Amino acid sequence: MKDMVLKNEEEITFQELSEMWLFGKGIKVKQSTYSKYKYLLDSYILPYLGTLPAKNLNTQLVNQKIEELYFTGGKEHLSISIMKGILYIVKAILKYSVCIGKIDSIEVTFELPSPFVKEIETLSNVQIIQLLKYILEGNSHNNLGILITLSTGVRLGEVCSFQKKDIDFTNKLIHVRSTVQRLKTDGDTKTSLIVTAPKSRKSYRVIPMPEFLYKKLREYNLDELEENQYILGRKNVPYDPRTLQYAFQRVLEKCKIDHIKFHSLRHTFATNCVRNGFDIKTLSEILGHSTVNFTMNRYVHSDLDRKREQMKLMDKVFGE
């Protein structure tokens, strides 16, 4: 990180305050989190707030700029997820600036509209059979990555980070201890593959292998690898998540399945677990969710087939 040169007290701007805040964060958070903060600052926040002198900052002005950012930052307005990140950063910078005595307290009163909850995309049972038929025919790295995610619910970055040492054949366990991401390093315009800690503390987990996955993994002769080699790619460098994403889209085309995101494999796993009677606490731990409530709100709901079954009970009421 470059050295910061601060202006005189009267000339300090919001941008200088943000650089001071970000500098402190750089030694406390994961590189992926730091990169996200920097991206949101450079792409959205600083173009609207950066040149404002710290001495002129007040509640009305800050909220006005945030509202302008929300409605003009995209084709219509910014997404809820982007705005949540922006609001967190702006509030954190303002709080930090108050603590170091650069500004008076400012309240961010801008409120986000209630988000429209999108339907979770999953594969149907017929599509799962189609997909499995295709990926089980050949032992490619991409097919293995798809199979592991579909049968364990691990995230894209997690499956790309698996090394031989993470696969315990003796006890039939998979250890999730890292993730792979493409990130910009400070001052670099290009992204690089970075292996980091998992998404959260709960993301460190141990997943028992289903028997069919255990048998399939045995076919890949992973015993030939060194402990620190990656099982996808079989090299000393992690597998690129983009490679697996692109390969998944090609597989969908060959299986004549409509486009869905790779992450939908995780949703498919979780949804099928619920349908087959998994207890929610166990499922939450397997998925690496932060809370059981998140798993409940995300996946425990009646699908259309279940609703049809339940509505048939009304036939008894009306004598059908």
Res 180: pLDDT: 93
C-beta of residue 92 within 8 angstroms of C-beta of residue 108: no
Residues 6 or more apart whose CB falls under 8 angstroms from that of 123 comprise 131, 257, 260, 264, 265, 268
CATH architecture observed for domain 9-99: Orthogonal Bundle (1.10)
Dist CA 314 CA 274 (whole Å) = 25
Res 2: pLDDT: 45
Q: Assess whether pLDDT exceeds 80 at residue 316.
A: no
pLDDT band of residue 28 (cuts 50, 70, 90) is confident
Please, what is the average pLDDT of the chain?
A: 88
Q: Assess whether pLDDT exceeds 90 at residue 16.
A: yes
Q: Assess whether pLDDT exceeds 60 at residue 74.
A: no
C-beta of residue 180 within 8 angstroms of C-beta of residue 239: yes
pLDDT band of residue 296 (cuts 50, 70, 90) is confident
Domain extents in the chain: 9-99, 125-302
Taking the domain 125-302, which CATH number applies? 1.10.443.10
pLDDT band of residue 3 (cuts 50, 70, 90) is very low
